Structure 1
Amino acid sequence: MDPITAVAAASVALVAKGALESAGQEAGRSGWNGGARLIERIRSRFRGDSEAEGALDRVTNAPGDEDAQQGLERMLTAHMLRDQPFEIDIRRFVDDAVAAQGRGAAQVNAAVIKNAQVFNEKVEVRGDWNVS
C-alpha cells in the first residue's frame, strides 16, 4: 500500500470514528478529539465536488458501511494527489491521532483495510532484512 493510500485509509477510519463520536455513541471514550475537525477539513476541500461530498456524507451517516468507506478512501486519495497542502493537513490529523494514542488515552487501533493490516506504531527493523 503506497503512503498516500495508507493515509487515506487511516483518515477514513478516523472519519468513521469521528462520526460515531459526534453521534454520541462513543462520546468521551476518545483521547483524540480531532474527528469533527478532520471531517470539516475534508468537507471544505470536497466543497463543489458532489461525488466526493456524497462519499463523505455516506460515511458520516453510516460509519460502518465498508463500501462507503472504500468510496471515501478513493476520493481522499484523488484529492490528496491533486492538492499537496490538503495532503499535508490530512497527514497532520493522522499523526495527531497516533500521538494521542501515546498519551495513554483511548486509541486509534490497528485496522484491517482490505488485505493489509495497518499499525499506528513506529516499526524499526535492524540487522539483515531480505524481501522476496
Structure 2
Amino acid sequence: MDPVTAVAAAGVALVAKGALESAAQEAGRAGWTSGARLIERIRARFRGDSSAETALDQVTRAPDDEGAQQELERLLAAHMLLDRAFEDEMRTMVAEAAAAGGKGAQVNAALIKNAQVFNDKVEVKGDWNVS
C-alpha cells in the first residue's frame, strides 16, 4: 500500500472512530479533539465536491459501513494527491492522533484492515492464528 493510501485509510479510520465516539457521547474525551479537527478539516477540503461531501457524511452517519469507508478513503486519497499541502496536513493530523494513542485516540485495526501502520510497539491479546 502506498503512503498516501495508508494515510487516507488511517484518516478514514479516525473519522469512523470519531463518529462512533460522538454517537456514544464521548466527545469530551481527549482523543475526540483530534478526531473532530480531522473531520472538520476534511469537510472544509471537500466543500463543493458533492460526492466527497456525501462520502464523508455517510461514514459519519454509519461508521461501520465498509463500502462508505472505502469510498471515503478513495476520495480522500485523490484529494491528497491533488493538493500537496492538504496531504501534509492529513499526515500531521493522523500522526498527532496516533501520538495521542494513550489518551483515547487509538485506531482500530479492524477498521483500517490492510493498511500499513508503523508503531514502535505491537501488543496482541487473545488467540492468534495465521494461515
Greater share of strand: 1
Asked if the contact 1:110–1:120 (Cα under 8 Å) also holds between the matched residues in 2, the reply is no
Asked if the contact 1:108–1:120 (Cα under 8 Å) also holds between the matched residues in 2, the reply is no
What secondary structure does 2:33 align onto?
Answer: coil
- Paired positions, count: 120
2-structure distance, mates of 1:38, 1:117: 18
| CA distance 1:58–1:109, change in 2 (3 Å) | closer
* Corresponding position of 2:56: 56
Asked if the contact 2:10–2:107 (Cα under 8 Å) also holds between the matched residues in 1, the reply is no
Identity of aligned residues (%): 64
Task: Identify the structure with bigger relative contact order (alpha carbons < 8 Å, sequence gap 6+).
Answer: 2
Unaligned runs of 5+ in 2: 122-131
Q: Rg larger in 1 or in 2? A: 1
* Corresponding position of 1:82: 82
Tell which deviates more after alignment, 23-32 or 52-61.
23-32
Q: Deviations over 1:2-46 (max 9, x none)?
A: 000000000000001111222234445554521111111001100
Asked if the contact 1:98–1:121 (Cα under 8 Å) also holds between the matched residues in 2, the reply is no
Greater share of helix: 2
Tell which deviates more after alignment, 25-34 or 59-68.
25-34
